[in-house]
Amino acid sequence: MRGLRALLRGGLALALALPLLGAFAGARAQDAARGAALAEERGCGACHGPRGVSAIENIPSLAGQQAEFIAVQLVLFREGLRDVPPMEAPSAGLTDAQVEDLAAHFASLPHAPPEDRPARNAEAFARGEALAGPLRCGICHRADLSGQNQVPHIAAQREDFLAGTLRAYRDDQRRGSDTQMNGVVKGLSDADIAAIAHYVAQR
């Protein structure tokens, strides 16, 4: 097990979640219904919002998120391969079927920006847009930043969460299946990251 965990932490964490990914192409409505009941039972709304739109600083919104991305993250939390203490209890003991149901539930919710989203700053938005182009964010996250498969929907995500996540990638503090982001944002200043986060949050 130690060898497997080391391998996964080294960049192959997605391998652990791959058996789940084929299930989402035909996610059934009842999967989402079971996921809604499970989300209520596990108290997901206390942090992520009752409809999956976070009102808490540095806590991501999940409404309309890619189901495969949610599933991968839940498996990483469950297996202790992502160190996010607040997610330890909610993910503990989840079966693969429950992971699928939770992912289907949150993916089915209407995507929306947080109610406390800051007003658009034209200068910051333009700077973030100019930086995002050469970084080719739209290649993986799509042109509208809605994500695809295990690549997350980032448009209209919480700005504080986006900035914190980008800083963690830049500083090599994120491990798992998405470590390619470490190289993408390497060398960005805090000001660059703030501008990109503002641009993405305003999309």
| 176 located within any domain | yes
Tokens 């942090």, residue located = 47
| 95 located within any domain | yes
Give the model confidence (pLDDT) of 130-180 as tens digits. 999 999 999 999 999 999 999 999 999 999 999 999 999 999 988 666 678
Domain with 129 in it? 122-201
Query: From CA 203, how far away is CA 199, in angstroms rounded?
Result: 7
- Show Cβ contacts of residue 26 under 8 Å, excluding neighbours closer than 6 positions: none
End residue of a domain, out of 82, 108, 134: 108
Query: From CA 2, how far away is CA 177, in angstroms rounded?
Result: 18
| 113 located within any domain | no
137 annotated ligand binder: yes
Whether residue 129 sits in one domain with residue 103: no
pLDDT of residue 176: 62
48 annotated ligand binder: yes
47 annotated ligand binder: yes
44 annotated ligand binder: yes
141 annotated ligand binder: yes
Q: What is the pLDDT along the chain (203 residues), one digit of tens a residue?
A: 333 344 344 444 555 555 555 555 455 556 999 999 999 999 999 999 999 999 999 999 999 999 999 999 999 999 999 999 999 999 999 999 999 999 999 999 999 999 999 999 999 999 999 999 999 999 999 999 999 999 999 999 999 999 999 999 999 988 666 678 999 999 999 999 999 999 999 99
Query: From CA 64, how far away is CA 54, in angstroms rounded?
Result: 12
Which region holds residue 113: left if phi is over 0, alpha if psi is between -120 and 50, else beta?
beta
The answer to whether 79 and 157 have CB atoms below 8 angstroms apart is no
Tokens 């652990």, residue located = 16
- Show Cβ contacts of residue 37 under 8 Å, excluding neighbours closer than 6 positions: none
Q: Which helix (H) or strand (E) holds 17?
A: helix 14-21
Please count the other Cβ atoms lying within 10 Å of the Cβ belonging to residue 123.
Answer: 10
105 annotated ligand binder: no
Whether residue 84 sits in one domain with residue 25: yes
Q: Please, which contacts does 176-179 make with residues 24 or more away whose CB atoms are closer than 8 Å?
A: 176/8, 176/9, 176/11, 176/13, 176/14, 176/76, 176/81, 176/82, 177/11, 177/12, 177/13, 177/14, 177/17, 177/72, 177/76, 177/150, 179/11
End residue of a domain, out of 52, 83, 108: 108
Tell whether the torsion through CA atoms of 183, 164, 128 and 71 is positive or negative.
positive
Number of domains in the chain: 2
